[in-house]
Amino acid sequence: MRLTVRRFFLFALLLAGAALITLVVLLLRQFDASKLGSDFNQRTPGELIRYARIRLIGHQILEPMLLPALAYAETQVQRQPATNGKLPPLGKGQQPQPLPAQSYDSKGTPIALEPTPGAASADSSWAELRVSNPAELARAMRGAQPGQTIVLAPGRYRITETLGTARAGQQGLPITVKARQIGQVRLESTVAEVFQVEHPFWVFENLQLRGNCPVQSDCKHAFLVQGGARSTVIRNNWMEDFNTHLQVNGDADQWPDEGLLQFNTFSNSRARDTEAVVAPINIIGASKWRLLDNHLSHFVKRAGAQSSFGMLVRGAGHGTRIERNLLVCTPQQINQAGIRTGISFGGSSTDRRFCRDQQCEFEQRAAVAANNVLAHCNDFGIDVNRSASLLLAHNTLINTAGIDIRGANASATVYGNLLDGRIRERDGAQAKTSMNEVLDLSAVLEDADTLRLAWRRTLEAVPSMPWIKEDFCGTARKDSSQVGALAASPSACLPKVWDAKTVQP
């Protein structure tokens, strides 16, 4: 009986401490900026809790006493996804239908294409190179000519050496590496990079790539695109268990611009135990990439600074377009260790050595993030750091801290977004905000947390922007349309992948 009473007393003490911490956090946010500093007053509850946790580390008495209380406080200010971790893909990510042969405009920029039943056509005997094992694949990639397609036979390929490109494709005659159908070919890698792309006009499609390194952090990239690899196309692939599934950067003063990343699924089966950058997509310095219709989820980092990103664009590039993607930072356990941001222009700032201009006065310029759905991030859904002339339009942010624009050089137009967090500008940033709705999403959407995004109650339509012609599902926006990513019902996404089948391996 004595032991039971003691346990009850300790439990009651812990609850009281947690309640006190929670009350302090909530009260501190109400204090006037003149008393505690405007920067402190702008912080989200999650940021305050993380700051308090850092300050406690190493304190022999307070750390063991208050860390459990902070953990409890965190559960009170962060909403847990009401899901078992399974969320609908909303038509994004790898598609079961084939894609038409890749085409290019007059300048050699790849054209984004939609899945079309029966679109895939057989290649001629000269154009098709058939391979059935990793050694044959490596030889085919070294010897492929412009216009040829390397077709992988169904099966599992154990990749123990990086597969590199040897020569360029040509505009209208790319070199393609693909499986005929999704789910037929799986590449399991024990090396840092599966594919290293250094030449222009290569296409990769319909592949499954999984990192399987003895030391988890050694599996760095499914794709490393660098140097002169202009107009690289990566489409309709499934990638899992890499630190940075797609890494794009310069090399020898060359930059792989104008790439296309479309209909890919990125995920991790568990948190990444690494000191390296964790971001399914990390583009440094390259310009005019288009990131369309991808599905990203579960990018958690549990080592080092524990900060991870879904899409990280930085390094003094320009003209990136991020549109119609679905990003779910964590489909469950949102308050697990680490800080997760959905889309970031700038991140924590790039070392000047890796910047396109060697200066990085601006991390990114003239970029667009539009018609994206971002959910369950314990930090901001969209982050802008030292990036200028950005357009953030018609995004839907669910259970995130909202949109953050920071840094003296940061500027953005924020238009027509739907969110339940906040829109914050700080440290000298300039934001032009209009027609945004910041509210409780349960009042207007069927069930936002489980990504059932049908309108429960439509809001007043806002004028459409000439630069944003479609919504999340690819439906044309009229002269005026709803705020957020979906102008109409999400059923418009259904024809792409929503049937009895699943595209997840």
In b/e form, how buried is each residue of 214-247, taking b as 16+ CB within 10 angstroms? eebbebbbbbbbbbbbbbbbbbbbbbbbbbbbbb
Helix 2-28 crosses helix 62-77 at what angle (to 10 degrees)?
Answer: 60
Question: Does residue 202 share a domain with residue 266?
Answer: yes
pLDDT at position 27 over 50 = no
At 484, give phi and psi (nearest 5°). Answer: 85, -175
Question: Does residue 278 share a domain with residue 168?
Answer: yes
Q: Per the domain annotation, does 89 fall within a domain?
A: no
Q: Per the domain annotation, does 87 fall within a domain?
A: no
Question: Does residue 132 share a domain with residue 34?
Answer: no
Question: Does residue 252 share a domain with residue 139?
Answer: yes
Domain final residue, candidates 77, 98, 115? 77
For the record, the structure tokens of 241 come out as 């268990």
Question: Does residue 138 share a domain with residue 73?
Answer: no
Question: Does residue 232 share a domain with residue 347?
Answer: yes
Percent of the residues in the chain that have a pLDDT greater than 90, as a whole number: 72
Q: Per the domain annotation, does 110 fall within a domain?
A: no
The conformation of residue 170, written as its DSSP 8-state character, comes to B
Range with the poorest average pLDDT among 117-126, 334-343, 404-413: 117-126
Domain that holds residue 260: 128-497
Question: For residues 243 and 218, what is the distance between their CA atoms, to the nearest angstrom?
Answer: 8
pLDDT at position 30 over 90 = no
Question: Hey, which of 88-97, 190-199, 344-353, 492-501 has the most confident mean pLDDT?
Answer: 190-199
The pLDDT confidence band at residue 34, using thresholds 50, 70 and 90, is very low
pLDDT of res. 32:
41
Question: Does residue 132 share a domain with residue 73?
Answer: no
Q: Per the domain annotation, does 28 fall within a domain?
A: yes
Residue range 443-458, pLDDT digits in tens: 999 999 999 999 999 9
Q: Per the domain annotation, does 112 fall within a domain?
A: no
pLDDT of res. 23:
47
More confident site: 24 or 277:
277
Range with the poorest average pLDDT among 43-47, 110-114, 328-332, 439-443: 43-47
The pLDDT confidence band at residue 12, using thresholds 50, 70 and 90, is low
Tell me the β-bridge partners of 484: none
pLDDT of res. 134:
98
CA angle centred on 398, ends 89 and 237, rounded to 5°: 25
pLDDT of res. 336:
83
Query: DSSP string covering 239-252, please?
Result: EES-SSSEEEE-BT
User: Residues 380-406: what's their mean pLDDT?
Assistant: 97
pLDDT at position 431 over 90 = yes
Question: Hey, which of 34-38, 259-263, 302-306 has the most confident mean pLDDT?
Answer: 259-263
Instruction: Indicate if the alpha-carbon torsion angle 34, 37, 38, 40 is positive or negative.
Output: negative
Range with the poorest average pLDDT among 25-34, 109-118, 218-227, 247-256: 25-34
Question: Does residue 49 share a domain with residue 136?
Answer: no
CB contact set of 193 (below 8 Å; sequence gap of 6+): 162, 220, 221, 222, 223, 224, 247
Cβ(166)–Cβ(138) under 8 Å?
no
The pLDDT confidence band at residue 334, using thresholds 50, 70 and 90, is confident
Q: Per the domain annotation, does 84 fall within a domain?
A: no
Helix (H, G, I), strand (E, B) or coil at 265: strand
Residue range 61-111, pLDDT digits in tens: 665 666 566 565 556 567 777 667 689 999 999 999 889 999 999 999 999
Question: Does residue 132 share a domain with residue 70?
Answer: no
Mean pLDDT for the chain overall: 87
Question: Hey, which of 17-31, 58-72, 367-381 has the most confident mean pLDDT?
Answer: 367-381
Tally of structural domains, the chain = 2
Residue range 262-316, pLDDT digits in tens: 999 999 999 999 999 999 999 999 999 999 999 999 999 998 888 999 999 999 9
Domain final residue, candidates 37, 58, 77? 77
Question: Which CATH number does the domain housing residue 376 bear?
Answer: 2.160.20.10
For the record, the structure tokens of 354 come out as 């890796």
Percent of the residues in the chain that have a pLDDT greater than 70, as a whole number: 80
The pLDDT confidence band at residue 50, using thresholds 50, 70 and 90, is low
Range with the poorest average pLDDT among 120-129, 344-353, 421-430: 120-129
Question: Does residue 68 share a domain with residue 136?
Answer: no
The pLDDT confidence band at residue 504, using thresholds 50, 70 and 90, is very low
Question: Does residue 185 share a domain with residue 56?
Answer: no
Residue range 476-500, pLDDT digits in tens: 999 999 999 998 777 777 644 433 3
Q: Per the domain annotation, does 165 fall within a domain?
A: yes
Question: Does residue 158 share a domain with residue 232?
Answer: yes
Q: Per the domain annotation, does 115 fall within a domain?
A: no
Amino acid identity, position 455: W
Domain final residue, candidates 77, 112, 143? 77
